[in-house]
Structure 1
């Protein structure tokens, strides 16, 4: 009896502890983060962002510094000759804004420029050299963000990048391997040879890569802002460089470039407010479709084969819509509201069989009437609650491979992201039609998907490179946060992907267990696993380079996660300086 009373007392005591006494208040979530967190694809970039914060800058100044340093140390992925998307949250104004710095087609562009004598897509012209390059947008974005949202002079935020370009940085494996894979193209052009063969041979791991011409271009940008790149000496060198290769850009193509501020796309999923990229990114609409299709299922409680099957079916349907409806909203009418609506997702969900694959051929291959592997990403939250999710790119490995002499600027090959020949897949196997056809001044469709997740207790920032797989990697990251994972766990999640056509579930090495693969095949899925390595063991083939930071408001803790697939990436937290009493 005494033991029973004692047990009853323990239960009562636990009950009392579980519910605060009348008048007691639950501790409120912190109003501001305890410092600054930055996750990027290179330690030098992360360190540059934190340096700028120490010098009095905010998240937006840090974003300029991180972006510029990545442009120096990751030419394999991004640079001043490319573009990007910057998703910003201005805490003081309580405002989210999407800064679109996507490249645009030059005025001389015509679809016929990219066809051979037989009317087929000229792959070399679409992906190599100045024909493949759009007018860069990244320099304009750095000027715009620093001037409108930052606190520091542009010259201070660009100083780390200028120093690193001039003094050099150690070559790492991905940069050296990428050069070897693109050497035949890059060595066509004297300006590129002057940078990457300055010492007589290709970049080797550990040696310093110095880029004095790029340092001078950055100095011109720091000194003269927009005009330092889009007018004056740098612009003249860019125009002369492309003209020497038989391509025509005009002074107005450069001087007329403008970033666009757009309203982000917003929707809700499982208690999170999702803020993400609108067109000309295809990512936000695809995320809204996929997550809203999946929301009725408690994915965390399903067996792995069932969970993967449902997720793949959502991917399949979203990528089918991407093919036909999405493009530059300044040129085509994109039915964003309809495609991103819960009602449309419900209709799509109704076509998903719970345990059978839907062959992509059964989803119409014609529009229904309706109302890189490279690239890089960084994520920032600062002590004021400002945040930045930024994804920037030159498209494929080392972009076009072409550097106009005297600029140090490696141009993008983003023209391949247009539907240069309708119905013909691009380098990522993604097709497009009229909505994404090239036109002078038009922005090409993108998969870049910088994203914020906001709940009552947590705020997360995430994004990744990965070409057409970007959207599905961000999707899996969001599902990881919804399952309660920490940032580093989210960054390390295994990855799989489906993009409507080809009708194949693609996976990283080891991403899915063998019984899961067998179950998916039994459902009718075609699953492509990476080939074995030369030694017969499993391939190390991996995707992406996800960078994410999270603020846990209940514990007032900042955390970062940097993709373990990338050994030079870095996520760091800088505690806020103590406030003066």
Structure 2
């Protein structure tokens, strides 16, 4: 007699698995983000004749409403743009240190870091860059009117949307635990109770802020009544940001980091993002090893990945920072094939290298960032990663403005000259200075072949971002994985300091773990690395294939 219980259980497993691996194909355009409503907002703009930049602006502002843990107008980030038959470029809208900041601002009278001060205080808020970044991208490359692009976000904030299970859990945590007063009240209804799962959640204050930005553009945020309100909030609570800081802020267009790997062109962010330089260096290192002959997920493969990461992150810590303050960063050297050849010479295929904290180090990002990828009918591609730093940033905000401020000052090296094996870094390129942009690990990336984008990829994950995107890119262009398999495949992370390797639990063979430990690697299991959002293009068929990481509860690829 058949075991119908087992049969039904297996069918349920298949249904669950297929839902995690949902495939989205389209011919005319696609948006993949951490929230389906935000992806829908971007696609609606594409359907109205907007291009990839227009859809990017709409998606970014919609995420500020629907994904408040990381989507934002109170943070900053990076955008990589590859136009059809055009030159790749980037927009740097990373936050800046306020004019009143200093290299020792988080130290006590004995020169010691005041615990939590650079992450969990109002002085940890950097001058936001998101509105300026979106405005610059639209001004230079958009098609539709600016106000039209903010309309979906305004409607989502004003009329509300049913609270998802993920948002309900986050909101309930802040409502019932020792969060800031702002976050305790963030998800409440007019009667003071917590909005329940499935109930409509409205954000009228944020809607008003977005309406003003829609009307006034960049100046609507950085000058006038919103800037004055931010200034007053900072003064009342001991913060540093002033109307002068806001008025002086500008996003910057920069040339991308351009690398090559196995005949593909790789475009990513230059400093103050460390993503493009570090990933390019690691891909160059992998080229020296004939990696296509090494089985995926094998001991030899994982050892090679760890050693590439170790060397890339060591260079990152020694050399990289805000290019406007570090004018002699050796970017051409670090991204060159010759540098990779020199780095590969001391690679031992049978033994782990040692990370020496007296020589190099690693500044790092927070854990909660978000990424989205966009393509349009003409083949224009955009890759955006932006952040509040930690989940829900500083947890602070003015109730009348309705958005959350970042805590990005924690990405600077807080203790000058002090580098420790636990990962604390004190190197000069990333010390705090007024108007300086803090170093980042964000790594929005576009891979092209013969001038056409074939992969648009990125991830949140703080210090793990570079390695997560690096492995996803490698999986697709070296191991021929489709984008959904590439996103779900096993990931590891090594950042030079501390000298440990994190790997996703249940995705690596115990025998491989033991073999790596025997080679001298310290292996630590974790639940998840990154939350990738990717689009793959098949030129022969003219089809886009999009995938959202199954770890993103509200994420979705939407195309048309």
TM-score above 0.5, yes or no: yes
For residue 188 of structure 1, report the CA deviation from its aligned partner: 3.6
Alpha-carbon spacing, 1:366–1:526, altered in 2? closer, same or farther (3 Å): closer
Question: What pairs with 1:535-546 in structure 2 (closer than 5 Å)?
Answer: 541-546=527-532
Contact 1:36 1:382 in 2 (8 A): yes
Equivalent in 377, 380, 392 of residue 383 of structure 1:
377
Partner of 1:536: none
Partner of 2:35: 42
Give the distance between the partners of 1:96 and 1:322, measured in 2 at CA: 23
Question: What pairs with 1:429-508 in structure 2 (closer than 5 Å)?
Answer: 429=423, 431-456=425-450, 459-482=454-477, 483-508=479-504
Deviations 1:558-579 (A, max 9, x none): 11111111121111221xxxxx
Contact 1:132 1:415 in 2 (8 A): yes
Select between 465-474 and 270-279 the one with higher mean Cα deviation. 270-279
Equivalent in 305, 318, 329 of residue 323 of structure 2:
329
Equivalent in 232, 240, 260 of residue 232 of structure 2:
240
Give the distance between the partners of 1:355 and 1:187, measured in 2 at CA: 48
Contact 1:179 1:398 in 2 (8 A): no
For residue 116 of structure 1, report the CA deviation from its aligned partner: 2.9
Instruction: Please state if 1:275 is matched with 2:267.
Output: yes
Equivalent in 301, 308, 314 of residue 307 of structure 1:
301
For residue 120 of structure 1, report the CA deviation from its aligned partner: 2.0
Partner of 1:121: 113
Partner of 1:159: 151
Alpha-carbon spacing, 1:328–1:398, altered in 2? closer, same or farther (3 Å): same
Instruction: Please state if 1:196 is matched with 2:187.
Output: yes
Contact 1:489 1:561 in 2 (8 A): no
Select the structure of larger CA radius of gyration: 1
Give the distance between the partners of 1:249 and 1:411, measured in 2 at CA: 11
For residue 418 of structure 1, report the CA deviation from its aligned partner: 0.5
Contact 1:323 1:430 in 2 (8 A): no
For residue 382 of structure 1, report the CA deviation from its aligned partner: 0.9
Give the distance between the partners of 2:194 and 2:416, measured in 1 at CA: 37
Instruction: Please state if 1:549 is matched with 2:535.
Output: yes
Partner of 1:62: 55
Alpha-carbon spacing, 1:459–1:158, altered in 2? closer, same or farther (3 Å): same
Partner of 1:265: 257
Contact 1:550 1:558 in 2 (8 A): yes
Partner of 1:137: 129
TM-score, normalised to structure 2's length?
Answer: 0.89
Partner of 2:10: none
For residue 203 of structure 1, report the CA deviation from its aligned partner: 5.5
Instruction: Please state if 1:224 is matched with 2:216.
Output: yes
Q: Give the gaps of 5 or more residues in structure 2.
A: 1-25
Select between 409-418 and 34-43 the one with higher mean Cα deviation. 34-43
TM-score, normalised to structure 1's length?
Answer: 0.86
SS of 1:112's equivalent in the other structure is: coil
Cα RMSD of the aligned pairs, angstroms, is: 2.2
Instruction: Please state if 1:346 is matched with 2:337.
Output: no
Question: What pairs with 1:174-189 in structure 2 (closer than 5 Å)?
Answer: 174-179=166-171, 187-189=179-181
For residue 216 of structure 1, report the CA deviation from its aligned partner: 0.7
Give the distance between the partners of 1:176 and 1:307, measured in 2 at CA: 40
Contact 1:82 1:412 in 2 (8 A): yes
Q: Give the gaps of 5 or more residues in structure 1.
A: 1-32, 531-540, 575-581
Paired residues, number: 524
